[in-house]
Amino acid sequence: MSSIVFLIQCPDQKGLVAGITSFFTERNYNILHCQQYTDVQDGQYFMRIKLEDEGHLERPSLEKQFGTFASTLGLIWSVKYTDQPYRVALLVTRASHCPYDLLLRELEGELKCDIPLIIGNHNDLADMAKQFDKPFYHLPISKDTKQQQEAQIKALLTEYNIDLVVMARYMQILSEQFVQEYAGRVINIHHGFLPAFQGAKPYHQAYDRGVKIIGATSHYATADLDEGPIIEQDVERVMHGNSPEDLVMIGKDIERLVLARAVKAHIEHRIIIAGRRTIVFSEGA
């Protein structure tokens, strides 16, 4: 069954739930699920509402009418139709565990998206792409060619009509211009539990500090390195006897899970970015 999902945010005010739900019921839409959250400290309201796509209105007409209604309440909103899967591009370097996991989840239907291409700054994962019957584009990068390489990436994203870019252990820093152009549409996995242990070799940093838990963080990429709005995190308890190599292996398992959860939340239209934070609504609705 096809559904329509609206994400809404606005200053908190009386009558929001009644007004928004009435808008849809008056047009004979069946509300399948409604989740809401009020940030009482900042006075902001957030809603995710899912409707049965029964075709009472043409989609452009629905959006136009809702836009007019939204302007009266100061709503910021977006809409996603579930019969239009997200098209996702993977950016990779040499590590295979995260992109391989996402490709497998797409193949088995756990991620309801299309991954039509993989872009790598090294050629190491070309065989992985071939295994999943995906085109692989090898776009090397150096300090002198960064601008040209990113232009090539953007051209491919446009050619393949990409909705979401996933840095699946892509060990390059995207330019400020790139992340601004694709704001809210680039997800990164940091192999460390942010905001601790930023930068290179976080597991070795964690070992040096003798930490008792290690973790991974998935976040939206921004111009500030490793400081974008956090989508998903997880941790695993470790012992003093674990070597740095042990931590790396444990960390890889966490990274797979955390990145998959973040991508799933995005493609299911469950995330609202609110400043430096995210509001992530529960899945299964």
* Cα–Cα distances in angstroms (integers) from residue 275 to residues 28, 89, 272, in the given order: 34, 25, 10
Q: What's the CA gap between 29 and 51, in Å, rounded?
A: 6
Catalytic residue selected from 53, 101, 163, 226: 226
DSSP 211: -
Q: How far apart are CA 20 and CA 49, in angstroms?
A: 9
Q: Let me know if 208 is a catalytic residue.
A: no
- DSSP-derived letter for residue 133 is T
CA distance 183 to 219: 12
Per the DSSP assignment, residues forming a β-bridge with 273 are 278
Angle at 281 between CA 277 and CA 283, to 5 degrees: 140
Residues annotated as catalytic (active site), given as ranges: 226
